[in-house]
């Protein structure tokens, strides 16, 4: 399925989500750099040029292609009151056919973590996944010790499904993850 290479802005409780734009570079790079030590234990290894403008432009081109090809949907999360970038969410690995699913990943800058922005963003994305993308299953995975992330998923109505061994390579090492999912016909919170 081919789509336009942008998605509509999604509004949630005190936040809005939209596709990353070239003008977001400085705010994004600053937030990621300031949060590097905070984010490193939970993310794949950062490339040496990860926070450069050139790398950001490549990232945006990849995002546009993935949206157009119905493979992934990246969003930045902004605080509604002042348009400050607080983090990001990505819907990736879109599967059509018999599976009808995608995976959710998210992050928040350290100064914005624990303030409910990611929870509000995830809640806002759920209808997009089920009503706009017409998928049946949204799944997410987090490290077992990441209680903050696990709480976000539980608050948003995800059900814990078990442990996936060596599921993702985080900070250079294959790590087990707790898998969560919500289905299109599950009750919404």
Please write the tens of the pLDDT for every residue from 69-128: 999 999 999 999 999 999 999 999 999 999 999 999 999 999 999 999 999 999 999 999
pLDDT at 96: 96
Half-sphere exposure of 167 toward its Cβ, with a 13 Å CA cutoff? 17
CB 13 within 8 A of CB 20: no
The whole-chain average pLDDT of the chain stands at: 95
- The total of other beta-carbon atoms located within 10 Å of residue 75's CB is 24
Please write the tens of the pLDDT for every residue from 20-39: 999 999 999 999 999 999 99
Name the band, by pLDDT with cuts 50, 70 and 90, for residue 3: low
| pTM of the predicted structure, to 2 decimals | 0.94
């Amino acid at each position: 399925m081919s789509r336009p290479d942008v998605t509509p802005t999604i509004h949630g409780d005190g936040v809005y989500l939209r596709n990353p734009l070239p003008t977001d570079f400085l705010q994004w790079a600053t937030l990621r750099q300031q949060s590097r030590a905070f984010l490193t234990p939970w993310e794949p290894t950062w490339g040496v040029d990860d926070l450069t403008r050139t790398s950001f432009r490549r990232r945006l081109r990849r995002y546009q292609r993935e949206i157009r090809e119905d493979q992934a949907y990246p969003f930045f999360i902004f605080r509604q009151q002042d348009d400050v970038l607080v983090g990001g969410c990505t819907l990736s690995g879109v599967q059509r056919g018999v599976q009808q699913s995608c995976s959710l990943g998210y992050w928040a800058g350290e100064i914005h973590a624990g303030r409910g922005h990611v929870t509000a963003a995830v809640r806002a994305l759920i209808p997009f996944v089920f009503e706009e993308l017409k998928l049946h299953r949204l799944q997410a995975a987090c490290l077992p010790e990441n209680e903050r992330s696990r709480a976000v998923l539980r608050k948003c109505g995800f059900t814990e499904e078990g442990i996936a061994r060596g599921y993702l390579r985080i900070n250079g090492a294959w790590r087990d993850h707790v898998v969560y999912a919500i289905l299109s016909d599950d009750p919404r919170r």
